[in-house]
Amino acid sequence: MKEANVILINATGLHARPASMFVKEASSYACDVTVEKDGTEYNAKSIMGILSMGAMKGDEIIVRANGEGEEAAVKALAALIETGFGE
Amino acid sequence: MVKGIGASPGIVVGKVLVKKEEEIKIAKKTIDSSETEVSNLKSAIEKSRTQIQALYDIALVKMGEEEAKIFEAHQMVLDDPEVFGQVENKINNEKINAEYAIEQVVAPFIKMFDMMEDEYLKERAADLKDVAGRVTKNLLGIDMVDFSNLDSKVVIVANDLTPSDTAAMDKEMVLGFVTEIGGRTSHSAIMARTLEIPAVVGTGNVLSQVVTGDMIAFNGDEGVIFVNPNEEKIAEFNAERVKYDAFRTRLSTLVGKESVSKDGVHVELAANIGTPEDLDSVLRNDAQGVGLYRSEFLYMDRESLPTEEEQFEAYRKVVAGLEGKPVVIRTLDIGGDKKLDYLPLPEEMNPFLGYRAIRLCLDRDDIFRTQLRALLRASAFGNLKVMFPMISSVEELRDAKTIVEEERVKLREEGIAFDEKMEIGIMVEIPATAIIADLLAKEVDFFSIGTNDLIQYTTAVDRMNEKIAHLYNPCHPALLRLVNMVIQAGHKEGIWVGMCGEVAGDPRLIPVLLGMGLDEFSMSPISVLNARWIIAQLSQEEMKIVAETAMNLPTASEVEAYLANTIQLED
């Protein structure tokens, strides 16, 4: 299992376009990918799950992957967040 | 007669097709083989995927990428492991029927998103409903209404229309539609305007009054609907429809043409907008710019002030979308009748004479500075101009300009790009401002006359007060004189003068304004082509005399009668 702590820096947080970018990226990996916020875990491959998380700018979240390609998945998703989804 | 909200213009007479909202009764059933049930679910999902893909393709061709995106969102819902993945788990674990499992999984999500304030999430609830409904119907073998495949021309009447419904509509076959719920900015209303299908929304209960095959007639501007109108009414509507269609066809020939008078004077016909979503109609109606972007909409319907980034994004979108055409953005105009929940303002005896617009911004310069930074940054992406509302003195203008200058210095230090030549102007909407227009003109790049407030303040008439509403008249000679004063004062100092109130698009007064030398007319996007048509028929030299005469008539009604008799326009 791999994980990374990241802080959302883009204006909209995990909402709208960034949310679907995140889910699409997560879905491209075979491993299980989750996001934890305030002690609750959400499925990173679920758009409904990610939207219901309501993660906003400044929130700290943990990206976690388990299985095939876990390292690459965590790295790519953390990078997406850290670069502010290209906003 | 039923009254709704006019959502998309046009005159419609035709046969009704009712879209039935059959309440699908879903009962919990215990199943024998979860394997068969899951396989049924999977084939319903695949069938839905094919349907959604087809809708995406249609929408892409008819409405473009932006509108087609909604079906991409539908595909994502279909692939969502927490939605249909959970449905599958439920079937396996609880041995229940697929449609019941769908309902069980989807309902909590819809309830949660519906409760949120956020418009974006509310729309996702609609997506989820749409997709879940589609899969359920495919499971149960219920035929879905398919508006892409109609065999006769109809007027659709429904409680509400989903994005799937509107995307599939063929303009040739769907004469118009009526929905019981919704407002001017609801999804179906926006789609109607995009597709140019006449529509009335928010009629309340109408399905109890019509059945498929009934006749229906409506005017998409007025929002009044007639069910089974008599012969006379039908003839009346048909005549209006022919006239209206000819009118729109003629106007459409003016797209891409210049706005020029008979004697060769060019003017700018611009549009008033509230949100970046209005951009589409600005471009479709060929406005030559945006003369008033009401930034306060960015601040409304939310729980906190919009950030610099959010504002920058919205301004940039409009400025870039207009590709170098001018965009005049009015700084926050809040107070008076416009309130923000998260910014409580003290109750005032006379809110229209109170703490509002630039007065509030100069007092709360933290709010003002955030907006100015966003505006300056967006100015790097096109032709942005900033306009201050409710300026009543030279001091206020100077104070506001000082703050702009301070923010410019900061941005330069931070190395952030902005347009060094960005124009700064003011709304002229207070009589005091109009009277000292000669002094103000020396310190701004442009004026834009806001007639709605200018009439109200000049005549001391609250236009919401029905008892005195008749005193609110744009033809009042006092208003004409003030407008003329402002235009001449601006021109004397070599600055351009525009108008962004209702009057700028008023066919009766366009000749007078042209005669006074108004440079820019800003109005609802839908009025732009008609204004171009009117101006093309007028000579500015002749209108100078008309304006002069009108200003010297003693009463508003004499002005109205004079204009009606003097100006003969082809209609």
Residues B500 and B270: their CA atoms lie apart, in Å, by 9
- Specify whether the CB–CB gap between A29 and A69 falls below 8 A: yes
Position A41 pLDDT exceeds 70: yes
- Residue B185's pLDDT is what? 66
CB pairs under 8 A, 24+ apart, for B340-346? B340/B299, B340/B300, B341/B303, B342/B302, B342/B303, B342/B304, B342/B305, B343/B305
Alpha-carbon separation of residue B458 from A59, B102, B418, B430, B477 (angstroms):
51, 62, 38, 7, 11
Phi, psi (5° rounding) for residue B332? -45, 120
Examine the fold and report which residue of B181, B206, B239 is the final residue of a domain before the chain moves on: B239
**CA Rg, chain A, in Å?**
11
Domain containing residue B132: CATH number? 1.10.274.10
Inter-chain CB proximity A15 and B73 less than 8 Å: no
The tally of domains found in chain B comes to 3
Tell me whether residue B132 is in a domain. Answer: yes
Examine the fold and report which residue of B190, B207, B239 is the final residue of a domain before the chain moves on: B239
Which H or E run contains A60? Answer: strand A60-66
Residues B166 and B109 reside in one and the same domain: no
Residues B247 and B530: their CA atoms lie apart, in Å, by 9
Residues B41 and B208: their CA atoms lie apart, in Å, by 35
Tell me whether residue B1 is in a domain. Answer: no
Neighboring chain B residues of A27 at a CB cutoff of 8 Å: 79
Sheet with B199-201, strands from edge to edge, namely B2-3, B224-227, B215-219, B11-18, B154-158, B174-179, B199-201, B5-8
Examine the fold and report which residue of B211, B239, B267 is the final residue of a domain before the chain moves on: B239
Residues B263 and B123 reside in one and the same domain: no
Residues B368-425 pLDDT 10s: 999 999 999 999 999 999 999 999 999 999 999 999 999 999 999 999 999 999 999 9
- Residue B262's pLDDT is what? 96
Tell me which residue of A35, A59, A56, A58 sits closest to A47, measured CA to CA: A35
Tell me whether residue B3 is in a domain. Answer: no
Q: What angle do CA B432, B436, B440 make, to 5 degrees?
A: 115
Residues B160 and B26 reside in one and the same domain: no
Say yes or no: A16 contacts chain B, CB-CB below 8 A. yes
Domains of chain A in start order, with CATH, are 2-86 (3.30.1340.10)
Residues B466 and B385 reside in one and the same domain: yes
Domain containing residue B467: CATH number? 3.20.20.60
Nearest chain A CA: its distance from B443 CA (Å): 36
**DSSP collapsed to 3 states, B207-264:** CCCCCCCCEEEEECCCCEEEECCCHHHHHHHHHHHHHHHHHHHHHHCCCCCCCECCCC
Of residues B74, B187, B361, B491, which has the active-site annotation? B187
Residues B69 and B218 reside in one and the same domain: no
Which residue is closest to B106 within chain A, CA to CA?
A: A48
Neighboring chain A residues of B128 at a CB cutoff of 8 Å: 48
What are the tokens at B16? 């009704």
DSSP characters for B98-130?
Answer: HHHHHHHHHHHHHHHHHHSS-HHHHHHHHHHHH
Tell me whether residue B9 is in a domain. Answer: no
Place of tokens 């789609």: B191
- Domain range for residue B95? 21-140
Residue A65 is among the residues annotated as catalytic for this protein: no
Tell me whether residue B189 is in a domain. Answer: yes
- Residue B571's pLDDT is what? 63
Tell me which residue of B110, B105, B75 sits closest to B87, measured CA to CA: B105
Residues B103 and B54 reside in one and the same domain: yes
Say yes or no: A28 contacts chain B, CB-CB below 8 A. no
Position A87 pLDDT exceeds 70: no
Residues B97 and B26: their CA atoms lie apart, in Å, by 10
Residues B361 and B437 reside in one and the same domain: yes
Say yes or no: B123 contacts chain A, CB-CB below 8 A. no
The single-letter DSSP state of residue B436 is T
Tell me which residue of B229, B166, B161, B199 sits closest to B15, measured CA to CA: B229
Residues B91 and A63: their CA atoms lie apart, in Å, by 30
Residues B428 and A24: their CA atoms lie apart, in Å, by 50
How far the first Cα of chain B sits from its last, in Å, is 28
DSSP characters for B474-543?
Answer: TT-HHHHHHHHHHHHHHHHTT-EEEE-SGGGG-TTTHHHHHHHT--EEEE-GGGHHHHHHHHHT--HHHH
In a 3-state reduction of DSSP, which class is residue B379? helix
Residues B211 and B322 reside in one and the same domain: no
Residues B134 and B189 reside in one and the same domain: no
Overall size of chain A counted in residues: 87
**Out of B80, B118, B313, closest to residue A47 by CB:** B80
Residues B183 and B208 reside in one and the same domain: yes
- Residue B466's pLDDT is what? 81
Residues A49-70 pLDDT 10s: 999 888 888 899 999 999 999 9
Neighboring chain A residues of B80 at a CB cutoff of 8 Å: 45-49
Tell me whether residue B357 is in a domain. Answer: yes
Say yes or no: A30 contacts chain B, CB-CB below 8 A. no
Domain containing residue B185: CATH number? 3.50.30.10
- Specify whether the CB–CB gap between B492 and B516 falls below 8 A: no
Residues B204 and B331 reside in one and the same domain: no
Which residues, 6 or more positions from B347, have their beta carbon under 8 angstroms from its beta carbon? none
Tell me whether residue B15 is in a domain. Answer: no
Tell me whether residue B12 is in a domain. Answer: no
- Residue B154's pLDDT is what? 95
**CA Rg, chain B, in Å?**
27
Inter-chain CB proximity A51 and B113 less than 8 Å: yes
Residues B219 and B325 reside in one and the same domain: no
List, for chain B, all residue ranges whose pLDDT scores fall below the cut of 70: 21-22, 185, 571
